[in-house]
Every structure is written in C-alpha cells, then in structure tokens.
C-alpha cells in the first residue's frame, strides 16, 4: 500500500494486514486491491489511513469484527505501526 506524506509529499510505503470476522459477506481480493490503490496519491498520515480503511471495510461488509494493521516502512529512522479495529457490538 502506498500513500503520500501530507507534510513532504514523499511516498509512504506500508505493509497492510486485514482481519475480517464475517458471517457471510466478504470483499473480493481484486476489489480490495483496487480500493487500496486509490490511496496512492492521497496525502494522509498513517494513523488516519488505518482508521479510514478499517471503517470503509466495516461499512462495506458489516462483519462481526474488522481489524487493520498498517506498518509504515522506515523513513528517516522512524517506523510506525498503527492498528484499528471495530466490532459490530461497538457500532450497535
């Protein structure tokens, strides 16, 4: 997954892990890949991107639980890992 740093405009590269505990509705991997590619030129911070992806996936398939982990590649000596999860019980 690639996005752009909102401060410098430089590309940020991520490893993304998605866990969806579903009871029927899923997302096709090709569709997921195309969705993730939409962030290529968007300027966003790692933490905000993690929340946005998790919320979008949760809204799309209404699973029991959705967890997204983004690990940003080291840049300037700093590596960031952001995690966000949503459970159906929390959303009511």
pLDDT given for residue 92 in this prediction: 58
Using only the alpha carbons of the chain, give its radius of gyration. Answer: 14
- Looking at residue 35, the DSSP 8-state letter turns out to be H
**Mean pLDDT over the full length of the chain:** 92
pLDDT in tens, 51-78: 999 999 999 988 999 999 999 998 778 8
- Looking at residue 67, the DSSP 8-state letter turns out to be E
pLDDT given for residue 2 in this prediction: 95
pTM of the model: 0.90
Is 90 exceeded by the pLDDT of residue 24?
no
Task: Determine contact, residues 73/14, Cβ cutoff 8 Å.
Answer: yes
Establish whether 23 is a catalytic residue. no
pLDDT given for residue 35 in this prediction: 96
Establish whether 5 is a catalytic residue. yes
Residues with Cβ within 8 Å of 16's Cβ and at least 6 positions away in sequence, in order, are: 1, 36, 53, 68, 69, 70, 71
Question: Catalytic: which of 12, 50, 54, 66?
Answer: 12
């Amino acid at each position: 997954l690639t996005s752009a740093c909102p401060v410098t405009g430089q590309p940020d590269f991520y490893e993304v892990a998605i866990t969806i505990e579903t009871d029927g509705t899923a997302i096709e991997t090709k569709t997921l890949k195309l969705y993730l590619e939409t962030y290529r030129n968007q300027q966003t911070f790692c933490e905000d991107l993690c929340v946005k992806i998790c919320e979008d996936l949760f809204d799309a398939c209404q699973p029991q639980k959705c967890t997204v982990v983004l690990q940003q590649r080291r840049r300037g000596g700093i590596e960031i890992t952001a995690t966000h999860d949503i459970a159906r019980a929390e959303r009511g």
